[in-house]
Amino acid sequence: MLVNMKILYATETGNARDVAERVARECSRQSINKISLASIDAYDARQLPKEDKNILLFVCSTMGQGDPPKSFEKFWKFLLKKNLPLSTSLLNLKFAVFGLGDSSYEKYNFVAKKLFRRLEQLGGESVIELGLGDDQHFSGYDGGLDQWLETLYVKIFGSEFYREKIIGFKDKLDVCPVEVSVVVRDGHGDGVGSADGVNDDDDAPVETRRGVMRAVDSMATEEVSDDNNGTYWRALKVMKNECCTSESAVRQVHHIELDNRYTDVHDFSPGEVLEVLPCSRSAIGREVLDLLTNSIVVKDGDNGYRAILDAENLVVSVSSSGSSSKNSRYICRAKYLVAYFLDCFSASPRSYFFEVCAYFAKDPLEKEKLQHFASPEGRADCYQYCQRERRSVKEFFEEFTSVKLPLEWLLHVAPKLKPRQFSISSSPSQHKNSDGTHVDLISITVAVAKWTTPLKRLRSGLCSTWMAEKLRTSDVVYARVVKSGGLPYSHTGSMILIGPGTGAAPFRSFILERCSRRNFDDKILMFFGCRRKAEDNLYETDWENVEKWSQGNIKVVTAFSREQENKVYVQDKIRGDSSKEVWDLISRCEAKIFVAGSSEDMPARVREAIRDVCAKEGGMDKESATRYIAELEAKRRYFVEAW
């Protein structure tokens, strides 16, 4: 059966693209199918009414409190045009939608749901019910994706395709879209340290990342642009890295100040986000070389593959498979690929990694186990082995020793090194240069992530541990300001700020910016929570100073949860003595409410507390108070930023 399918994805972190690539890869196994894959912002939405010969499959992620990825905005604006007649605009369109979201958020999979509804309103015909992937499922979004894809494939291609090309594909291998060749001089060793085009300077971490992305088109295009508007990585030197918590604190938190004087990032708004690339030149260690030597192989001319003899000096050329252009190739040391492009020592691989490794496993028992992990039936076992224990690629190879994975496949299926986002905690106005044209300093607040797995393995966050424990004064951090991220700040208007723990970071930026501009006319009520005053009372001196400077117009209410027998949280403070003040700011001063911090249950508990205040002080029942908060959201007076 001939089927043309266009797969469009809207992603922020790369997960939606991963799903889209899986669908494209599996559909392409039926050679007569014509499959195309693209980011949704690269698609001309005006072509929708003309797509009578194609099925359009949309894969969309939802961020935070129902926010769409940036790439989705242009497409969505087109669908909302008033001149598009309902029921008839997209009569020729056949479509399917799969969403990626997190059910711990109130607006779970909001983007996919509204896209599905709108396409149907305009007359489009869905070939399958809306599919929803939930990050809270024990196997992540795969839990919803497997069954949804089975239904899709059987409906479009038939049960024989699903049986032979999906279930029966376990002993076969897809074509790898990445090509790696060894750069050799004089025929000795693996490679050379001075091959033409090899990047060995201090910018190797970011240059390796950009070069590989360009060569194999593996991630978002905006990350590889050469523009000058601040979206690409800048090298910022560390000015200060100090611990804000006591030694007895449950979690360490660091205040890190970065020197921005010599970059072209001239300004930013309070509430925006600094995205950090978690890498340093010290990442080239023994672990990287051991991984390459013991578990990875490279092509050996026409003789198949061979082990890597000299991992320290191996130089390779990376390109997309089938590409003949020299300009589309990137030459670098193989150790840089592992250290700066992949996350082999922290992130857990996904199911396709196991599927590929099963093909290259020499031991029959290892092959059988890996095939089971890669199958829908083995999802629960794979979760127990991998995600629940957060086993890394390195740990996988230590256990499955018969797997010798070609370097090009490692680049394709291993987890990519993803940037981490931190709320900016400094005021831009407070750190402007003498003529006011450039922000000289950017600070962030970093909580060190450390935890113990069910099998008592000690784990730590890759980026937070590196930044807190390894960074020294004058070390370089590669970072960029994300203009579309974070909370929307305004220079005027009353605010209620609720930020327990490191959720206080963006609100420190808010408050210091108001103080720097000497705007004390509008009231600010801040709720900060931590465990104990002597352990983790972040920015205590700042809060005391701003209360004095503002002569009472800025007020900080603290909740120390472990200082008394009964735990007290920020939501308890909101409901308690501050109840009347909160309602007065909401109802009379039209204050905006901002919530930032842990994404577990804090945002929901705070929302309930605000609802209870509205009910108690505003004379509403709970149902009316719930609707009132929804109206505040619609009027852009209630914002949540959780992580």
Q: Is the pLDDT of residue 188 over 50?
A: no
Smallest CA-to-CA distance from 138 within 382, 416, 344 is with 382
**pLDDT given for residue 324 in this prediction:** 58
Kindly compute the dihedral angle of the four CA atoms of residues 289, 450, 252, 447, in this order, to the nearest 10 degrees. Answer: 80
C-alpha distances in Å from residue 129, one per residue of 7, 25, 106, 132, 142: 16, 22, 21, 10, 17
Q: Is the pLDDT of residue 280 over 60?
A: no
Q: With residue 523 as reference, give the H or E element that holds it.
A: none
Q: Is the pLDDT of residue 433 over 70?
A: yes
Output the average pLDDT for the chain: 88
Report how far Cα 162 is from the mean position of its chain's Cα atoms: 31
Angle, in degrees to the nearest 10, between helices 504-516 and 540-549: 30
User: Is the separation of the CB atoms in 482 and 421 below 8 Å?
Assistant: yes
Please name the residue that has the structure tokens 């992620």. 61
C-alpha distances in Å from residue 429, one per residue of 101, 336, 436, 594: 36, 38, 8, 21
User: Is the separation of the CB atoms in 274 and 304 below 8 Å?
Assistant: no
Which two three-digit tokens encode residue 72? 């989705």
User: Is the separation of the CB atoms in 441 and 431 below 8 Å?
Assistant: yes
Give the pLDDT band of residue 537 (cuts 50, 70, 90): very high
**pLDDT given for residue 322 in this prediction:** 66
Phi-psi region at 301: left, alpha or beta (left = phi > 0; alpha = psi -120 to 50): left
Residues 28-51: pLDDT tens digits? Answer: 887 666 889 999 999 999 999 999
Pairing of strands 420-423, 273-277: antiparallel
- What is the gyration radius of the CA atoms in the chain, in angstroms? 26
Smallest CA-to-CA distance from 17 within 141, 104, 102 is with 141
CA torsion sign for 509, 511, 514, 517 is: negative
Helix, strand or coil, per DSSP, at residue 424: strand
Residues 52-86: pLDDT tens digits? Answer: 889 999 999 998 778 899 899 999 999 999 889 88
**pLDDT given for residue 227 in this prediction:** 41
Beta bridge partners of 641: 596
User: Is the separation of the CB atoms in 48 and 2 below 8 Å?
Assistant: no
Count Cβ atoms within 10 A of the Cβ of residue 508 and give its class: 0-12 exposed, 13-18 middle, 19 or more buried. Answer: buried
Q: Is the pLDDT of residue 392 over 60?
A: yes
Beta-strand (E) ranges in 11-93? 34-39, 55-61
**pLDDT given for residue 200 in this prediction:** 60
Q: With residue 397 as reference, give the H or E element that holds it.
A: helix 393-399
Residues 290-340: pLDDT tens digits? Answer: 999 999 999 987 778 999 999 999 999 998 876 656 667 889 889 998 988
SS (H, E, C) 312-377: CCCEEEEEECCCCCHHHCEEEEHHHHHHHHECCCCCCCCHHHHHHHHHHECCHHHHHHHHHHHCHH
Pairing of strands 273-277, 476-482: antiparallel
Helix and strand totals (H; E) in the chain: 21, 25
User: Is the separation of the CB atoms in 570 and 528 below 8 Å?
Assistant: yes
Q: Is the pLDDT of residue 226 over 70?
A: no
Give the pLDDT band of residue 221 (cuts 50, 70, 90): very low
Q: Is the pLDDT of residue 551 over 80?
A: yes
The CA angle 356-361-362, to the nearest 5 degrees, is 155
Within 10 A of 430 (CB to CB), how many other CB atoms are there? 15
User: Is the separation of the CB atoms in 61 and 3 below 8 Å?
Assistant: no
Beta bridge partners of 524: 495, 554
Residues 237-266: pLDDT tens digits? Answer: 999 999 999 999 999 999 999 999 988 888
**pLDDT given for residue 455 in this prediction:** 85
Domains of the chain (ranges, CATH numbers) = 4-169 (3.40.50.360), 197-226+280-416 (1.20.990.10), 227-279+417-486 (2.40.30.10), 495-642 (3.40.50.80)
Phi/psi at 236 (5° precision): -115, 130
